[in-house]
Structure 1
Amino acid sequence: MEQQIMRTIPYSINLADSFFKRLKGLMFRKEQLVEEGLWIVPCNSIHMCFMNFAIDAVFLNKAGKIVKLVEDLQPWRFVKPIPEAYSVVELPAGSVTKLGLKQGNIINI
Structure 2
Amino acid sequence: MQKKIITLPYQINMADTFFKRFKGLMFRKNPITNEGLWIVPCNAVHMFFMKFPIDVVLLDKQNEVVEIHHTLRPWRITKPVKEAYSTLELPAGSAEELGINVGCIIKCLI
Identify the residue that residue 77 of structure 2 maps to in structure 1.
Answer: 78
Q: Could you tell me how far apart the structure 2 residues matched to 1:88 and 1:4 are?
A: 19
Q: Could you tell me how far apart the structure 2 residues matched to 1:31 and 1:69 are?
A: 22
TM-score, scaled to structure 1: 0.96
Alpha-carbon offset, residue 35 of structure 1: 1.2
Alpha-carbon offset, residue 4 of structure 1: 1.4
**Percent identity of the aligned residues?**
56
TM-score, scaled to structure 2: 0.96
RMSD: 1.0
Q: Could you tell me how far apart the structure 1 residues matched to 2:104 and 2:44 are?
A: 19
Count of aligned pairs: 108
Question: What runs of 5+ residues in structure 1 fail to find an aligned partner?
Answer: none
Runs (4+) off by over 4 Å: none
Question: What runs of 5+ residues in structure 2 fail to find an aligned partner?
Answer: none
* 1:34-77 residue CA offsets vs partner (Å, 9 max, x unmatched): 11000000000000000000000010000000000100100000
Alpha-carbon offset, residue 24 of structure 1: 0.3
